[in-house]
């Protein structure tokens, strides 16, 4: 869709300032969020976010591009320090604070893949989970753009302090179009595990299959790029979005020198009312610039016994969850193709109507981690990953998304990376099953990494779009 220049947002900023000032005398219950919204011109939320100097920035765009939200600052943060220990307790906590009535009040955030494995970690700021209601938001849904502020009532039920903070943030909003700097140049690259260690890990997994201990395990790799400058996470995200299609795009930037971002093709779950949706994504082949060769690669993926077996394990696990929780379950009769810019995957979509009101925390725990990012049997695969992988996955392959009063959506945070100062650490994985070849699984991860490779310069060559 056509977008407006940032300068056209000035009247909406003024209108929102007035609306926040008018809301300040309100007396909601302590801790309750109050959302104030005004219509806005069709400014691109991501470009608006890139123009801001706020230390804390947040972004979410759904896979279809119908819903997009850019956030500045933090009206409220939920973390383990607040008390909730389980996903069910957390979601109940969030919904006690969300605004009542119509509107788009949501918390955005995610969970760790699993508790830390005792190895040194880069993920301390993200804790076991972290969810944020942004202070200011530019929100686009189905072609309608809204500028909003979220105010949190203090312990006495007063909004005045929150209103003052929101008005100060509004006054600091920048309306200059963001620059498009040249992509960062890579100074060094480090893979963990390296190629030799990777092949030994795969060999040990294949031996575990032979002993009947595992049916599948997903092995991940951490690739660290040190660059020639301090990285702006939103600038990295802008380039990533331009080199990605059919993906959930996200950025969580809670501290100046640390941000988690990515472009994941895989939905974990979405609930709207009683409708529950998920999908089984597994199996990978690269794309080719030649149309005939590209079509041949797609046909080979659909016919691959190894890839269909791997994807079938994911489908069976998800189908078992749906059959237990839902009636009227619908699923694609055969795996189809999920086509991205740099690769394709096999995908089976599944949906159903929940038999009764859902406990969203129980739903999340039933789905995560699927065999697409963990393995089969689940507990044995997770133990194997914690023991064998030489790094902490943190938020990689974990559930990230949003929670509203009447629903939620989470993607699987694959094709993701952690920005720290001048370093971009990228995470990708490959499913290992009987018959896997270590060199082919290594190459599959290289294919999955292409969208991140395009945001950087390598040996003087610009890969960015």
Tell me which residues are annotated as active site: 216, 266
What is the rounded CA–CA span in Å between residue 169 and residue 176?
Answer: 16
Strand-pair partners of 338:
345
Q: Are 424 and 417 in contact (CB under 8 A)?
A: yes
Local structure of 285: helix, strand or coil: strand
Phi and psi torsions of 320, nearest 5°: -65, -40
CB atoms within 10 A of CB 323: 12
Report the residue count for the chain.
465
Identify the burial level of 33 via C-beta atoms within 10 angstroms of its C-beta, where 0-12 means exposed, 13-18 middle and 19 or more buried.
buried
What is the rounded CA–CA span in Å between residue 48 and residue 216?
Answer: 43
CA distances for 356 relative to 314, 366, 403, angstroms? 25, 16, 19
Strand-pair partners of 146:
39, 139
Q: What is the DSSP letter of 183?
A: P
CB atoms within 10 A of CB 342: 17
N-terminal to C-terminal alpha carbon distance within the chain: 19
What is the rounded CA–CA span in Å between residue 265 and residue 277?
Answer: 15
CB atoms within 10 A of CB 2: 4
Residue written as token pair 């839902």: 326
CB within 8 Å of 437: residues ≥ 6 apart: none
Q: What kind and span of H or E run contains 346?
A: strand 343-354
Helical segments of 69-187, H only: 87-97, 160-171
What is the rounded CA–CA span in Å between residue 9 and residue 41?
Answer: 6
């Amino acid at each position: 869709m056509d977008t407006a220049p940032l300068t056209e947002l000035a009247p909406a900023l003024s209108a929102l300032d007035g609306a926040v000032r008018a809301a300040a005398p309100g007396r909601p219950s302590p801790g309750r969020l109050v959302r104030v919204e005004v219509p806005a011109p069709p400014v691109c939320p991501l470009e608006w976010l890139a123009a801001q100097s706020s230390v804390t920035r947040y972004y979410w765009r759904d896979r279809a591009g119908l819903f997009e939200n850019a956030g500045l600052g933090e009206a409220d943060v939920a973390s383990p320090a607040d008390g909730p220990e389980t996903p069910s307790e957390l979601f109940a906590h969030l919904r006690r604070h969300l605004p009542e009535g119509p509107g788009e009040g949501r918390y955005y955030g995610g969970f760790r893949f699993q508790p830390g494995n005792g190895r040194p970690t880069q993920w301390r700021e993200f804790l076991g989970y972290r969810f944020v209601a942004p202070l200011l938001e530019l929100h686009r849904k189905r072609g309608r753009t809204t500028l909003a502020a979220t105010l949190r009532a203090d312990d006495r039920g007063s909004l005045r302090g929150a209103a003052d903070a929101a008005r100060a943030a509004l006054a600091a909003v920048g309306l200059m179009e963001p620059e498009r700097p040249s992509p960062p140049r890579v100074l060094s690259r480090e893979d963990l595990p390296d190629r030799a260690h990777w092949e030994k890990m795969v060999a040990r997994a294949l031996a575990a299959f032979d002993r009947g201990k595992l049916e599948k395990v997903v092995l991940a790799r951490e690739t660290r790029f040190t660059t020639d400058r301090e990285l702006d996470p939103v600038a990295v995200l802008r380039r990533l979005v331009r080199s990605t299609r059919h993906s959930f795009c996200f950025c969580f930037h809670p501290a100046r020198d640390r941000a988690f971002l990515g472009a994941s093709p895989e939905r974990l779950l979405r609930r709207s009312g009683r409708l529950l949706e998920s999908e089984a994504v597994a199996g990978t082949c690269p794309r080719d610039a030649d149309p005939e060769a590209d079509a041949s690669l797609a046909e080979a993926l659909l016919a691959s016994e190894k890839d269909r077996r791997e994807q079938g394990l994911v489908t069976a696990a998800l189908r078992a969850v749906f059959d237990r929780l839902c009636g009227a379950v619908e699923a694609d009769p055969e795996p189809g193709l999920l086509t991205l810019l740099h690769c394709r995957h096999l995908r089976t979509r599944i949906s159903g109507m929940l038999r009764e009101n859902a406990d969203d925390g129980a739903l999340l725990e039933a789905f995560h981690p699927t065999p697409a990012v963990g393995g089969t049997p689940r507990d044995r695969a997770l133990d194997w990953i914690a023991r064998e992988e030489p790094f902490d996955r943190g938020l990689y392959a974990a559930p990230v998304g949003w929670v509203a009063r009447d629903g939620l959506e989470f993607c699987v945070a694959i094709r993701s990376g952690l920005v720290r100062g001048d370093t971009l650490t990228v995470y990708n994985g490959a499913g290992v099953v009987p018959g896997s070849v270590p060199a082919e699984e290594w190459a599959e991860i290289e294919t999955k990494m292409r969208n991140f490779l395009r945001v950087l310069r390598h040996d003087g060559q610009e890969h960015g779009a």
